[in-house]
Every structure is written in C-alpha cells, then in structure tokens.
Amino acid sequence: MPKQVPDDFAQTPIEAVIDGLTNAEKRSNRMILVGAPDWVRGVIHRLHSARITEVRDWSRLMPTRNTDEVISVMQRPRVEE
C-alpha cells in the first residue's frame, strides 16, 4: 500500500515561488507586494511611472490563502559594487 502524503505537504503556488526566490544561487534584490488586486496593480504602475521598476519585471498576480488578496514578486540581479 503506497504511503499517503499529508495534506499540508504540497506547496501552494506562492510557497513554490518564495522557495525559488530564497534558494536562488545568484544574489538578487526582491520586492514583494501583498494586498488587494487593484492596490497591487496600482503600486506596480506607480513604481513604473517613478522609473523604479518595469511592469514586465513583476510576476503575475497570484492568490494567497486570504480571500481577495494577491501577491506579486519582482526580482532583479544584485549589482555588486
């Protein structure tokens, strides 16, 4: 009989993204936005207007465990001085 995997063993999509970001071999800078979808989109566009980030640099909006809440992540290589 196969061993059953506990329900909490499988990662949610956002947990997989966070694991991928924190396990990256190259050092990088990251920004993470969590909130209502309209708010997250608005901040991403304001950061673009301020020439801080590009809209295309952000991940797609991914749902969190909280209703009506999303997360988006921006990652860029760290520039060593």
pLDDT tens figures, 24-75: 566 778 899 999 999 999 999 999 999 999 999 999 999 998 999 999 999 8
In a domain, 5, yes or no: no
φ, ψ of residue 47 to 5 degrees: the values are -65, -35
Range of the domain at 47: 29-77
In a domain, 18, yes or no: no
Is the model's pLDDT at 7 over the cut of 60?
Answer: no
In a domain, 47, yes or no: yes
In a domain, 10, yes or no: no
Question: Alpha carbon 25 to chain centroid distance?
Answer: 17
In a domain, 58, yes or no: yes
In a domain, 52, yes or no: yes
In a domain, 37, yes or no: yes
Give residue 38's pLDDT. 97
- Residue 81 CA to residue 78 CA, distance in Å, equals 9
Indicate the number of domains in the chain. Answer: 1
Could you tell me the pLDDT band of residue 78, with boundaries at 50, 70 and 90?
confident
**8 Å CB contact between 63 and 46:** no
